[in-house]
Amino acid sequence: MTSIQLKPEAKRYIQNHGSYNPFTENEQGIQIERTPFLQRHIQLADIKSIENTYFIAKDGTKIPIRIYTPHTDEAILPIILYFHGGGWAIGDLDYMDGGCQYLSKHSQAIIVNVDYRLAPEHPYPIPQQDAYDALNWIYQNPLQLPIDLKRLAVAGDSAGGNLAASIAVRAIEEQGPPIQALLLTYPALDATATVANEDLQFAKQYGLDDDELDLYYRYYVQGNERLTHPYVSPALYEKKALLPPTIIVSAAYDVLNHEGEKFIEELQQAGVQAERVILDGLIHSFFSKMDYFEQETEEATIHLSNFFHFIIQDGLNFKTEYR
């Protein structure tokens, strides 16, 4: 059993928030309470502009996005598409605002933060389709953003990490826009997985409970026959050698730890450049919580950015046979 040594900020977060289950069921069906997670707003001097706008999804729905542009001397910038966490059921553009600012600062990339539609009102495949539509929208670049599509990454935390990985799989299967890197923070990757024995001690009160995770999948997917589909469970995708270079930043005490470790090991065995970074003393859900984990959020974005820079600047030979 792991000796748990939480950072003071993690202890304070657990004391103040503990577990969070937004769902209730009654005769009217599934109900969800989305209480805004109020947190300190930041405005980094390193960010040149933050713009709220939208794109039109495949079904005609307006999907809000927030675009972050860093101060830089470079005329044409890398681009990172970001999907927030929240179990596919909660979260919005403000939820990951601080994290996206730090990611833009350290990656020196334009970040597009996507407010995809949420379950249970909009179950799978709608959030995944919104994510894929965002990828196609970026590639078409109707706003004529100063971006280099040969330096395109997709990123996300938790459920957002799932969406990022799933659209990387979909881009392979549908010969979609080429993605150069996956930048993931404690992603949920396998809806069929059970909690590893070594992670059971983190299954309650560490930012994400095991039964809470089951509920999120249940209300997102709404059909067990879909759980093994690689668009739901990208860890089950069989052609891992075709996936882009991937980094996972994990919290030391997280029910999803073994899942992330296994995914990285399988990518490495398939010949994909992949690495995992574990941040000590932290729990699931730390990312972008500015009242508790600003320093840790910045540390995570530095790891993500350094990996991205290595991939796009050092010219790693990324397999593109499917394109």
Higher pLDDT, 238 or 37: 238
The set of catalytic residues is 158
Nearest-angstrom CA–CA distance, 161 and 259: 12
* pLDDT at residue number 242: 98
Beta-bridge partner residues of 274: 246
Whether residue 78 is preceded by a cis peptide bond, meaning omega within 30 degrees of 0, is no
Name the fold adopted by 8-313: Rossmann fold (3.40.50)
* pLDDT at residue number 322: 32
Q: Three-class SS of residue 144? A: coil
Mean of pLDDT values over 204-229 = 89
* pLDDT at residue number 67: 98
* pLDDT at residue number 37: 67
Judged against a pLDDT cut of 60, whether residue 320 lies above it is answered with no
* pLDDT at residue number 36: 67
**How wide is the angle at C-alpha 306 spanned by C-alphas 300 and 308, nearest 5°?**
105
* pLDDT at residue number 317: 45
Higher pLDDT, 32 or 179: 179
Q: What is the pLDDT of residues 134-156, one digit of tens each?
A: 999 999 999 999 999 999 999 99
Mean of pLDDT values over 79-88 = 97
DSSP-derived secondary structure for 33-73: ------------TTEEEEEEEEEE-TTS-EEEEEEEEE--S
Cβ atoms of residues 141 and 149 within 8 Å: yes
User: In terms of Cα–Cα distance, which of 212, 87, 60, 214 is closest to 160?
Assistant: 87
Strands, E, within the chain: which ranges?
A: 23-26, 29-32, 47-56, 62-70, 77-83, 110-114, 147-157, 181-185, 246-253, 274-283
Q: Which amino acid is at 106?
A: H
User: Would you tell me the crossing angle of helices 159-173 and 126-140 to the nearest 10 degrees?
Assistant: 60
* pLDDT at residue number 318: 46
Mean of pLDDT values over 206-228 = 90
Reported pTM: 0.94
Higher pLDDT, 314 or 159: 159
Query: Using H for helix, E for strand and C for coil, what is the string for 69-97?
Result: EECCCCCCEEEEEEECCCCCCCCCCHHHH
Q: What is the pLDDT of residues 97-127, one digit of tens each?
A: 999 999 999 999 999 999 999 999 999 999 9
* pLDDT at residue number 314: 64
* pLDDT at residue number 56: 98
Nearest-angstrom CA–CA distance, 60 and 137: 13
Q: Which amino acid is at 67?
A: I
Q: What is the pLDDT of residues 255-289, one digit of tens each?
A: 999 999 999 999 999 999 999 999 999 999 999 99
Mean pLDDT of the chain: 92
Beta-bridge partner residues of 55: 63
